[in-house]
Structure 1
Amino acid sequence: MFVDKDGIWVTSTVHDLVLKLSLEGEVLDTWWGSESELLKGLFGFSSRTLNLEMDFGTENFAEGYDKYCKDERLHINTVCMHKNEVYVFSCWKNSLIRIRPLPEKIVVRDDSLSAPHNGIITDRGEVLINNTMKQTLNVYDLNSGLLIREISTRIFDEDVSKQFAKAGWQRGLAHLEGSKYLVGTSPAAVFEVDIESGAIGAVLQIDKDVRHCIHGLAVVHDF
């Protein structure tokens, strides 16, 4: 989710869909990732049959829903803006994609990422991506798409994380102040990372159950 001056950008991950809604709930813009001709050509996928009503029947709903999710083309888990341009992050394609203005453009693609989340862009034109399973915070140059540095953010004793099974499922990313950012992980915890020094700061442990993970983070300075 990203709040713009006249609306809110949201992702509908299972539909490969991004929408902009007004503050009154009116749909202002839509982008259908599975229908992008440019992305179909670059990534080699075809259009998909969408089930926007999520109608899988009552008897086999779980099976139908699981099959539908596996049919996703991009698994979009982030939408953000930078200098009036709109970007989304595709977990399944390890890519930050500019979707507005059209045509789309692949800004960062790094196939060494493992189940990544939370692509955001700093004021200095750096792209931050949570390399979720490998527990690093990767910093890329927005213009070239090249990796600048990889910051180790492992705060629990697991080399490779696994959702609901092993500690360190790194998800949730928000700017705190200056070069400091907040990162979420599992078992549910939030910690500070300085993207310039690479130092890990304060850690707030919320839960000890490895199945409980931070999903998203936001920093509010004024109440």
Structure 2
Amino acid sequence: MHDTRLLVTSIVRVSGTGESSGFVRWVSKGERRVLKTWPILESRFREFDLNPRGGLRGGRGIGSTEDRLVIAMTDRLYVFDRQWNLVAELTHPLFGEVHDILVEPDGVWVTATASDALLKVGWDGQLLRSWSWRKDPALAEALGLGAWAGDAAQVDFRDPRQLPPLYDFVHINGVARAPEGLLLSFGFVASGATRRFQSLLGLPGRLLKGLGLDTSLARPSRMFAMRFLGARYSSSTWLGVLLPEDGPARIVARQEGVKIPNHNLHWDEDALVFNDTHSSQLVRQAMDGSGRRQVRVPGTPAFARGLAPLGAQRFIVGSQCPTALYEVDLQAGRSELLCELGDNVHECVYAVHAVPDTFGEPPEQLWSSAAPPVAAAVDAGPRAAAVGR
């Protein structure tokens, strides 16, 4: 009997220095259990990040072709061949707080929330394409961010000490292929009022930094956490954005009043499927607005995240409490527990990916038993390229 094997990454919130901030798991769908677990490789900048939730913690997106599998961390991509040899480690100064990825035959699309960038890198680490809302004046105005458009800061976005005071304007956290081009998830577009509140709360830190005092209040990552505090008293928006092969980007889906980011995207015939993390639901929404289906993902909180399509409107979705995987059937309107992954109430599933049958069983030690990477830490392009399409 054929068994679908799933690769799953997770984040452990509020994990301290010296503790593992996330895991990679190998899961048998047929046996409904975890077969192997590996701690992630931590970012070398993690000690400088003050965001208590995600920040530089945990594993990120996963993707594959028939020949290559990619596991993303917060500032780099690890590329494996069919035998689970680590054949490349790819990174770039714009890889600040990497989220989901899309793996295609010629390279990897990467969403990076700190730099507000969508990037495509080749298998040799070279930057093939880049795009940001900042370079699309019409989209920036539609987002209410016209005042903040223009060139991004020229810094290494992987290092939280270099981040500008205000960053991560749209929380670009998902990318998927659609017939016309790419679908993007703008997970959390804060309102102008939230931005102003965040700026006000960060004023003491900016003054301290101006005086040359490197305190926790002066760290941009602390300002980011203040944005979510501001969102409690103001509205924020999730957006699905279509980036066609030709022509300008356009907004194709919208959800107002979100307090936490929504996640993941998948094109399903004529509809968009995404995790409504705010409401703990998996949603299928017709692109023409003619219909919508949703199924609740269990959990207290669920924090629904991770999306692996199984076909026929069935998906594997992850949750936080419990840290678990659920099989969600949108047509039948039900969700069923596949298996629990752990009992840490602070651990949340990040990504779920069905691994192609062309890959064998992974080794007992995923990282240390792999061959040395052949393209380690490739900083493609300029130190921090201006982001444009």
1:158-190 CA distances to partner (integer Å, 9 max, x unpaired)? 3xxxxxxxx311111110233210001103211
* Alignment correspondent of 2:383: none
Q: Which residue, out of 153, 173, 177, partners 1:77?
A: 173
State the partner residue of 1:161: none
Instruction: Between the two structures, name the one with larger relative contact order (CA 8 Å, sep ≥ 6).
Output: 2
User: Residue 153 of structure 2 is aligned with which of 39, 46, 50?
Assistant: 50
What is the aligned partner in structure 2 of residue 174 from structure 1? 308
- 1:14 maps to 114
Q: Which protein shows a greater Rg?
A: 2
**1:137 and 2:282 aligned:** yes
1:121 to 259, 263, 267: 267
Change (3 A) 1:51 1:77: same
Provide the rounded CA distance (Å) in 2 between the counterparts of 1:56 and 1:217.
Answer: 27
* Secondary structure in 2 matching 1:118: strand
Query: Which amino acid in structure 2 is aligned with residue 203 of structure 1?
Result: L
Q: Is the 8 A contact 2:188 2:258 kept in 1?
A: no
Q: Which residue of 2 aligns with 1:209?
A: 344
Deviation of 1:151 after TM superposition, in Å, equals 1.5
How far residue 5 of structure 1 moved from its aligned partner, in angstroms, is 2.8
CA RMSD between the two structures: 2.2
Tell me, what secondary structure is at the counterpart of 2:318? strand
Name the TM-score, length of structure 2 as normaliser: 0.49
Q: Deviations over 1:79-133 (max 9, x none)?
A: 11112511210011311111232300111112155521112211x2211111113
- 2:197 is equivalent to residue 97 of structure 1: no
Counterpart selection for 1:150 from 276, 285, 294: 294
Deviation at 1:71, TM superposition (A): 2.6
Q: How many residues align?
A: 204
Greater than 4 Å deviation, 4+ residue runs: none
User: Which segments of 5 or more consecutive residues in structure 2 lack a partner in the other structure?
Assistant: 1-100, 190-237, 360-389
Match of 2:252 in 1: 107
Determine the C-alpha separation between the residues in 2 that align with 1:105 and 1:2.
20
Which residue does 2:325 correspond to in 1?
190
Please report how far the alpha carbon of residue 146 of structure 1 lies from its aligned counterpart in structure 2 after TM superposition.
Answer: 5.5
Superposition TM-score, scaled by structure 1 size? 0.82
Tell me the percent identity.
23
Change (3 A) 1:25 1:84: farther
